[in-house]
Amino acid sequence: MSDTTLLLTALCLPLFAALGITLTSRWPNLREAVTLISAALLSITVFTIYTRFSDGAVFAFDVAEPLPGLMLRFEIEPLGMLLALVTSTLWFVTGIYAIGYMRKHKEENQTRFYALFAIAVGSALGAAFAGNLLTLFLWYEILTVSTYPLVAHAGTRKACDGARTYIGILLTTSILFQLFAILITYSVAGTLDFQEGGILAGKLDPTWVGLLYALFIFGIGKAAVMPFHRWLPAAMVAPTPVSALLHAVAVVKVGVFTVLKVTVYIFGTDFITSSGANDWLIWFAGATILLASLVAMTQDNLKLRLAYSTISQLSYIVLGALLATDMGLIGGSMHIVMHAFAKITLFFAAGAILVAAHKTEISEMDGLGRVMPFTFGFFLIASLSIIGLPPFGGMWSKWYLAMGAVDAAQWMLLGVLMLSSLLNIAYLLPIPIRAFFGGKNDEAGVSATGSLARSEIKEAPISCLFAMMLTTLACMLLFFYPEPFYVLASGLTGGN
């Protein structure tokens, strides 16, 4: 199979999967088989692309020319390859988890869920393999629209309100700010192609670089930099597999991926630092890291606490881009991977608690760890990875981000990173601690777990536990074997 055919196969597989899922809607077992087989084939295809890419193969082709001089182009570079590996792998794992969750929770409209999930994965891959800013923006918007019905999946008033907030903020920021910034970029540079070292140096007055960069940073609403972050907690009304998709795989990762791409291939890190464009914008990322962590500490709802944690963690990646140093870019890129596997584990655990014990509030989880030891054990390990402790993968991305702050002589931001890790401890570790050690004085066998007696509570379905086990193992393996993702992340700094 040629390189071009292989890339086309990866781009089209999720779309064919959505069609197959729709056609097999009457047969749930077959429908779910289509989901898992398609996800497995995509993982194999993307890994094959990765091996050829690592051997020096060049993947690039043009699809169409909608406007003179503006091509719809696909091309693979290291950061896009990194995102594609994460997306394809976690689609398969999430598919396993979703089967147990959706059936146990008796969710309606499951065919629509699986089909739209596949389209969202395909949109994320389209963004990962985009060869210029026009193609990236197109898939960015398709991802927003395709995930809107997933957020509104429950069909309740609360779900619809949350979905409107979700799509309203994302479309408003992308059209008012990001699209405007793209038009300015094209008018100045005469191209939207991604180039090592950027396309704006020598063409844009350095006085205006900061303003244009700000339009991109705030226009990429999926990166959830404050004050354009409210869409993310609003989307927590969605089923847990959707929350996992939003927070760990497709939506937010495409957001921070876009920030990194714009930083490196549109502006160029040298141009950013020489113009001083990042001098003030970097503090929005620093403030988001701390403020979102503080808000997370106040949330009793588990998914909301995890949502604000995601907002904070995303700004680690934005901070890595804004530092505009090699170490910062490597740290930000690696955090896409490390955060993805850890955060999806936390959301899987939240869903497992919901389907097994019908609990959503942290204050109701005292003692649950003694009847759901695997779920809370997985939650603990993923939390330690988010915190950045060895031997878990999250240590490496935080290490390189800290080194990036040192290289940039940003000592206050280094302090922000250290303080944030302490706040991670404060809002994550109390959850498994109270689950394993809380509620000891319950004499009736009911305790703080609520109306269900402990004897009635069991672990979530085996498919949910298996998926959590896979992502938890990944959190540990990424500490010992981070090299493939480190090599890809290092490739992002080649032209800078």
| pLDDT score of 283 more than 90 | yes
Cβ(82)–Cβ(337) below 8 Å: yes
Cβ(435)–Cβ(376) below 8 Å: yes
Region 164-184: what's the mean pLDDT?
Answer: 95
Tokens of 57: 């193969």
| pLDDT score of 158 more than 90 | no
Q: What is the pLDDT of residue 453?
A: 55
Neighbours of 400 (CB within 10 A): 26
**Look-up of token digits 């998709």:** 245
| pLDDT score of 112 more than 50 | yes
* Percent of residues, the chain, with pLDDT higher than 90: 72
Q: Pairing relation of β-strands 60-67 and 70-75?
A: antiparallel
DSSP string, 65-117: EEETTEEEEEE--HHHHHHHHHHHHHHHHHHHHHHHHHHHTT-S-HHHHHHHH
Q: 487: which residues sit within 8 A by CB, 6+ positions away?
A: 54, 78
Q: What is the pLDDT of residue 440?
A: 61
* Listed range (28-42, 203-217, 244-258, 391-405) with the worst mean pLDDT: 244-258
**Look-up of token digits 């008012």:** 176
pLDDT grade, residue 444 (50/70/90)? very low
Tokens of 142: 């398709």
Neighbours of 335 (CB within 10 A): 26
Condensed to tens digits (0 to 9), the pLDDT of residues 342-363 reads 999 999 999 999 888 889 899 9
Region 62-73: what's the mean pLDDT?
Answer: 85
Q: What is the pLDDT of residue 471?
A: 95
Average pLDDT, the chain: 90
| pLDDT score of 443 more than 70 | no
Q: Of residues 3 and 181, which shows the higher confidence score?
A: 181
Cβ(278)–Cβ(323) below 8 Å: yes
Q: How far is CA 216 from the centre of its chain?
A: 18
Q: What is the pLDDT of residue 448?
A: 46
* Listed range (100-109, 197-206, 254-263) with the worst mean pLDDT: 100-109
Q: What is the pLDDT of residue 494?
A: 67
pLDDT grade, residue 3 (50/70/90)? confident
Tokens of 54: 């690592």
Q: What is the DSSP letter of 154?
A: T
Region 124-134: what's the mean pLDDT?
Answer: 95
Work out the angle at residue 192's Cα, subtended by the Cα atoms of residues 78 and 45, and round it to the nearest 5 degrees: 35
Region 432-437: what's the mean pLDDT?
Answer: 93
Query: d(Cα 419, Cα 130) in Å, to the nearest integer?
Result: 36
Q: What is the pLDDT of residue 247?
A: 67
Cβ(397)–Cβ(331) below 8 Å: yes
Region 85-99: what's the mean pLDDT?
Answer: 92
* Listed range (50-59, 103-112, 171-180) with the worst mean pLDDT: 103-112
| pLDDT score of 441 more than 50 | no
- What is the reported pTM? 0.93
| pLDDT score of 447 more than 90 | no
Q: What is the pLDDT of residue 496?
A: 44
